[in-house]
Amino acid sequence: DTAVSQTPKYLVTQMGNDKSIKCEQNLGHDTMYWYKQDSKKFLKIMFSYNNKELIINETVPNRFSPKSPDKAHLNLHINSLELGDSAVYFCASSPLTGVREKLFFGSGTQLSVL
């Protein structure tokens, strides 16, 4: 009965590979996000979807592509992984359109690119 779940929790891969991270929320929220947390713990938004529509697309390399098959799922696909992609990636959702209300976070995916 986890509210926001993302898989895998750990992802170790070689440079140049393609990988995906999945996220699902069972809260009935309309808005979902992907955040990247770097080694200094700074959180940076990558993408936001509202009811399957892309709302925020920050300056993120084209190698990152979000996919929202329905409003309960927001997956992140990364092509041609680079060393600098190593970070913790968090999925989140919010109950109303936009971020004016609180976010619910998944437990994170620690990506290590070797």
Partner 1 sequence: SQQGEEDPQALSIQEGENATMNCSYKTSINNLQWYRQNSGRGLVHLILIRSNEREKHSGRLRVTLDTSKKSSSLLITASRAADTASYFCATALMDSNYQLIWGAGTKLIIKP
**Positions that interact with partner 1 (CB under 8 A):** 4, 31, 40-45, 48, 50, 55-56, 58, 90, 92, 97-108
Least distance in Å: CB of 100 to partner 1? Answer: 6
Nearer to partner 1, 9 or 67 (CB): 9
Least distance in Å: CB of 68 to partner 1? Answer: 15
The rounded distance, in Å, linking the Cα atoms of 60 and 15 is: 18
Give yes or no for a contact between 18 and 81, defined as CB atoms under 8 angstroms apart: yes
Q: Tokens 């990558």 belong to which residue?
A: 46
Q: Say how far residue 114 (Cα) sits from the centre of its chain.
A: 20
Nearer to partner 1, 14 or 28 (CB): 28
